[in-house]
Amino acid sequence: MKLTLRVWRQKNADADGTMSTYEVDGIAKDMSFLEMLDTLNESLILSGEDPVAFDHDCREGICGACSLVINGEAHGPERTTTCQLHMRAFSDGDTIDIEPWRASAFPVVKDLVVDRGAFDRIIQSGGYITAPTGAAPEAHATAVPKPAADTAFEHAECIGCGACVAACPNGSAMLFTSAKVNHLGVLPQGAPERESRVLDMVERMDAEGFGGCTLTGECATACPKGIPLFSITRMNREFVRAARKRG
Amino acid sequence: MEGCVLTVGLMAALDTRTDRRPSFAGLLWGSTVGKKTAMAVSGIVMLLYLVVHMLGNLKIFFGAGTFDGYAAWLRTIGEPFLHHEWFLWIARVVLVAAVVTHAVAAYQLSRRDIAARPVKYARPSPGRHPRWRRFAPPLSRRRRASYATRTMRWGGIILGLFIVWHILDLTTLTVNPHAAPGHPYANVVATFSTWYGDVIYIVAMLALGLHVRHGFWSAAQTLGAGSAARDRALKTTAHALALLLTAGFISVPVAVMTGLVS
């Protein structure tokens, strides 16, 4: 496959960026999208140019490091992570636009790499449970009802990649925040901080400069892990409940 | 020394105390999530009013006597407990409070939303631009924000302007071509006998339908009433409300235009 790539190049956080055009040839349909970028970078290095910086780690869809907006869609045209997207989703001769996550809370570090530290700070503000350290507790010490376990697991699938923020027209982090609030909130282990968690995490989310939710549904459509839009509904309910009790 | 340690310990304990939060109202108005709650509640207040308003409007099909009589009766609700027109003024105060809350929250949240996403993507996502969608690869995910969702802000502004015109036209009669106090039937017919009166009204009612369609469902999510199991029922209700309100309101200018009401 021969492709034309239009890639966002930005030297550093303060520099102005621009879309640069590159031609890549010899791309196999079975290559992953990141392997295609590796091919581009090899040719850039050989010709003495600066390779394109992009985030990646596990390359098996579980770490949440990869973060590219491909043709205007977070993680590209399939419902998966960029690393699990394969070139067979494209055709020979295609022009592909590759951009970083766009949100003021996710400043560009270089090229396609953005700083997602805001997510870490949201987690720090309440995405934890209080548990004694030491030996692992007896697994059956706390009974977890099956529906609660299912709901918790559904929300625990979030890998914190930030596709929800990238896809949202308001740059909102509601889906990410609600995934963690619900994951821990429905479990008995998370019950002691149930109220303070949602209040603190929403406060942090707002302080980081993320936008509000207008329920466009773009986030849940982009989410590679299928966190449902109703996760946000559930967090809204939790927030009002906690505000009434004042955490 | 021991006292010093104790003081430090106490200070740390105070630092981590979580019972020093703002009031319930403060928590709501101070956060994006809570501000949406205020928008949802004020929106539902206005929506309930609109249903009653639309049903009341339909009295125009029973003739001038019935319609004018209904308008006069509205001023007597609650008598003798309430004085003449008091109920009407209470309703007006509640409605103005709802409109102001809704608009201020929308303005503040919109400014924040726009600031949170300052850079647009070079190629817009296919779902949001139907013209491009036709050329999207077959594997492309679909279902994106609907037209109603994307027009909430402009729709809201149109409705806000319409309310001003509507009050000047049929409440204060400032811009009404007939302007006869106490004769709402004749005033309504006069307004809808002008082409601009019909155009403004019909455009605004179409905007209302779109706004209610996304707004009702959205309010349900904001208030935490939505779920996968209940989604179909909520969406159907939103569609039905939007359709009934728009059709009900538009039936009046259409009836005047066709001569059914004159």
Contact check, Cβ <8 Å, A228/B228: yes
Q: Give the distance from residue B149's alpha carbon to the nearest chain A alpha carbon, in angstroms.
A: 6
Residues of B within 8 A of A167 (CB-CB) are 125
Q: Per residue in A104-116, pLDDT tens?
A: 999 999 999 999 9
Q: Which of B33, B111, B210 to mutate to test the interface with A (most CBs of A within 10 A)?
A: B33
φ/ψ of B217, rounded to 5, equals -65, -40
Q: Which of B117, B133, B152, B223 to mutate to test the interface with A (most CBs of A within 10 A)?
A: B117
Contact check, Cβ <8 Å, B136/A77: yes
Q: Per residue in A42-63, pLDDT tens?
A: 999 999 999 999 999 999 999 9
Residues of A within 8 A of B37 (CB-CB) are 236, 239-240
Average pLDDT, chain A: 95
Retrieve residue B114's tokens: 């726009």
The answer as to whether B128 is a domain residue is no
The answer as to whether B164 is a domain residue is yes
Q: Give the distance from residue A139's alpha carbon to the nearest chain B alpha carbon, in angstroms.
A: 30
The answer as to whether B4 is a domain residue is no
Q: What is the pLDDT of residue B181?
A: 92
Asked if A75 and A68 count as a contact pair (C-beta separation under 8 A), the reply is yes
Domain that holds residue B202: 32-115+150-257
**What is the SS3 assignment for A236?**
helix
Contact check, Cβ <8 Å, A235/B122: no
Picking from B37, B28, B30, the residue whose alpha carbon sits closest to that of residue A244 is B28
Cα separations (Å) of B3 from B9, B13, B14, B15, B17? 10, 15, 16, 18, 21
Q: Give the distance from residue B139's alpha carbon to the nearest chain A alpha carbon, in angstroms.
A: 6
CATH code for the domain in which residue B208 is found: 1.20.1300.10
Q: Give the distance from residue A196's alpha carbon to the nearest chain B alpha carbon, in angstroms.
A: 7
Whether the predicted pLDDT of B3 surpasses 50: no
DSSP B142-197: -----HHHHTHHHHHHHHHHHHHHHHHHHTS-TT-SS--TT-HHHHHHHHTTSHHH
Contact check, Cβ <8 Å, B227/A79: no
Question: What's the average model confidence in pLDDT over B187-199?
Answer: 96
Q: What is the pLDDT of residue A52?
A: 98
Question: What's the average model confidence in pLDDT over B80-99?
Answer: 96
Whether the predicted pLDDT of B10 surpasses 90: no
Residues of B within 8 A of A93 (CB-CB) are none
Q: What is this model's ipTM?
A: 0.92
Q: Which of A151, A177, A200, A240 to mutate to test the interface with B (most CBs of B within 10 A)?
A: A240
DSSP A97: E
Picking from A103, A105, A133, the residue whose alpha carbon sits closest to that of residue A117 is A105
Q: What is the pLDDT of residue B16?
A: 58
Question: What's the average model confidence in pLDDT over B50-67?
Answer: 96
Picking from B7, B18, B33, the residue whose alpha carbon sits closest to that of residue A130 is B18
Task: Categorize the per-residue pLDDT at B20 as very low, low, confident or very high, splitting at 50, 70 and 90.
Answer: confident
Whether the predicted pLDDT of B142 surpasses 60: no
Question: What's the average model confidence in pLDDT over A188-215?
Answer: 95
The answer as to whether B129 is a domain residue is no
Residues of B within 8 A of A216 (CB-CB) are 144-145, 149-150
Q: Is A217 on the interface with B (CB under 8 A)?
A: yes
Q: Is A89 on the interface with B (CB under 8 A)?
A: yes
Q: Per residue in A18-28, pLDDT tens?
A: 999 999 999 99
Verify cis geometry, omega within 30 degrees of 0, for the bond prior to B177: no
The answer as to whether B190 is a domain residue is yes
Amino acid at B187: N
Q: What is the pLDDT of residue B74?
A: 96
How many domains does chain B contain in total? 1
Question: What's the average model confidence in pLDDT over A180-207?
Answer: 96
Residue with more model confidence, B193 or B13: B193
Q: Which domains are seen in chain A, by residue range? A: 3-109 (3.10.20.30), 116-132+140-245 (1.10.1060.10)
Nearest by CB to residue A212, choosing from B109, B121, B220, is: B109
Whether the predicted pLDDT of A224 surpasses 80: yes
| Least confident stretch, A5-19, B4-18, B95-109, B216-230 | B4-18
**CA–CA separation, A212 and B258 (whole Å):** 45
Q: Give the distance from residue A79's alpha carbon to the nearest chain B alpha carbon, in angstroms.
A: 7
Question: What's the average model confidence in pLDDT over B21-43?
Answer: 95
Closest Cα in chain B to A193 = B18
Average pLDDT, chain B: 88
Question: What's the average model confidence in pLDDT over A17-41?
Answer: 96
Whether the predicted pLDDT of A69 surpasses 80: yes
Q: CA torsion A221→A223→A228→A230, rounded to 10°?
A: -80
* Alpha carbon B139 to chain centroid, angstroms: 37
Q: Per residue in B118-127, pLDDT tens?
A: 998 987 665 5
Residues of B within 8 A of A236 (CB-CB) are 33, 36-37, 221-224
The answer as to whether B16 is a domain residue is no
Picking from A215, A213, A179, the residue whose alpha carbon sits closest to that of residue A197 is A179
The answer as to whether B143 is a domain residue is no
Q: What is the pLDDT of residue B15?
A: 57
The answer as to whether B165 is a domain residue is yes
Closest Cα in chain A to B32 = A212
Percentage of residues in chain B with pLDDT exceeding 90? 78
Q: What is the pLDDT of residue B7?
A: 47
Whether the predicted pLDDT of B52 surpasses 50: yes
Q: What is the pLDDT of residue A247?
A: 65
3-state helix, strand, coil in chain A (%, to 5): 40, 15, 45
